[in-house]
């Protein structure tokens, strides 16, 4: 494992422009369940096509909010883990130029990283489905979490939909284009905690490979890219990423001292 850590640190330290792509596995150490893990995944007891589509939200909003309420509660209470902090440290040091995330929990920003590209939206804002007014979740958080309250717009009475991307919805155009630009320009793509099963995020590594960028995968489960990446670390991201960040930053310091 130490050899893999050092190789990852070297690739990042030597990168001209490294980009990170993160998924649900980055936040599971913070107590937030992913979607597919047996016994603990969010889809274990729900059919996503019945509960997490925009059409289902419009037809049965109470069922949708009953499903998302326990998840939102965990996200509001969760704290960034060592993997979030390590990535934020790498970004703030200029090693990683962009962080692209599939997560909606905002933990990467709370760990200290700015300008995170959120492909699947976030749980902290919502939009009225009638008048499109935008609200911050803190306006409704207490009632929403502690009761069966469905948030309604104080202006027009429409239901406020959390700004998370549901099945059948298009990804935010600006976020998707920013992610594609970042990956198209990178020479190292660090994938952390993503199973790479959800498109179009899962297509980004192939965009990186198309221009010979090096690809590092840190994930406990398997991905379609395992046999084609430059470095595969099947280990806990909360342990691997801090070790990689520390080794990478040491290399950067040593390099600066010799120049």
Domain ranges in the chain with CATH number 3.40.50.1220: 1-31+80-120+171-259
Predicted local distance difference test score (pLDDT) of residue 50: 72
Predicted local distance difference test score (pLDDT) of residue 139: 82
| CA pair distance 70, 76, nearest whole angstrom | 10
CATH fold of 33-77+122-164, please? SIR2/SIRT2 'Small Domain' (3.30.1600)
Domain ranges in the chain with CATH number 3.30.1600.10: 33-77+122-164
User: CA dist 154 to 160, 244, 248, Å?
Assistant: 10, 48, 50
Q: What is the pTM of this model?
A: 0.91
Q: Of these residues, 120, 136, 152, 211, which one is catalytic?
A: 120
Predicted local distance difference test score (pLDDT) of residue 146: 76
Predicted local distance difference test score (pLDDT) of residue 40: 41
Catalytic annotation present for 211: no
Give, for all 259 residues of the chain, the pLDDT tens digit.
899 999 999 999 999 999 999 999 999 999 998 765 444 445 455 566 677 788 888 888 888 888 888 888 899 999 999 999 999 999 999 999 999 999 999 999 999 999 999 999 999 999 999 999 999 988 887 777 777 788 999 999 999 999 999 988 889 999 999 999 999 999 999 999 999 998 899 999 999 999 999 999 999 999 999 999 999 999 999 999 999 999 999 988 877 666 5
CATH fold of 1-31+80-120+171-259, please? Rossmann fold (3.40.50)
Predicted local distance difference test score (pLDDT) of residue 39: 44
Predicted local distance difference test score (pLDDT) of residue 33: 83
Nearest to 241 by CA among 25, 15, 40: 25
Q: What are 106's two structure tokens?
A: 């905002």
């Amino acid at each position: 494992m130490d050899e893999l850590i050092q190789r990852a640190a070297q690739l990042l330290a030597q990168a001209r422009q490294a980009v990170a792509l993160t998924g649900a596995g980055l936040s599971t150490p913070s107590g937030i369940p992913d979607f597919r893990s047996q016994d603990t995944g969010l889809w274990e007891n729900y059919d996503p096509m019945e509960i997490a589509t925009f059409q289902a939200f419009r037809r049965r909003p109470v069922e949708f909010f009953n499903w998302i309420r326990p998840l939102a509660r965990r996200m509001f209470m969760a704290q960034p883990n060592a993997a979030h902090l390590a990535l934020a440290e790498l970004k703030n040091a200029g090693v990683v130029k962009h962080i692209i995330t599939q997560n909606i929990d905002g933990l990467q920003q709370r760990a200290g990283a700015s300008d995170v590209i959120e492909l699947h939206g976030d749980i902290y804002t919502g939009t009225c489905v009638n008048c499109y007014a935008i609200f911050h979740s803190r306006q409704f958080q207490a009632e929403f979490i502690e009761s069966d309250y469905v948030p309604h717009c104080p202006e027009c009475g429409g239901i406020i939909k959390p700004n998370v991307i549901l099945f059948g919805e298009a990804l935010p155009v600006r976020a998707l284009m920013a992610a594609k630009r970042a990956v198209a320009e990178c020479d190292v793509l660090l994938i952390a905690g993503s199973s790479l099963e959800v498109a179009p995020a899962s297509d980004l590594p192939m965009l990186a490979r198309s221009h010979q960028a090096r690809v590092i995968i840190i994930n406990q489960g398997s991905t379609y890219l395992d046999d084609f990446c430059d470095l595969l670390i099947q280990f806990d991201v909360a342990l691997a990423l801090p070790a990689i960040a520390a080794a990478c930053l040491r290399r950067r310091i040593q390099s600066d001292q010799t120049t």
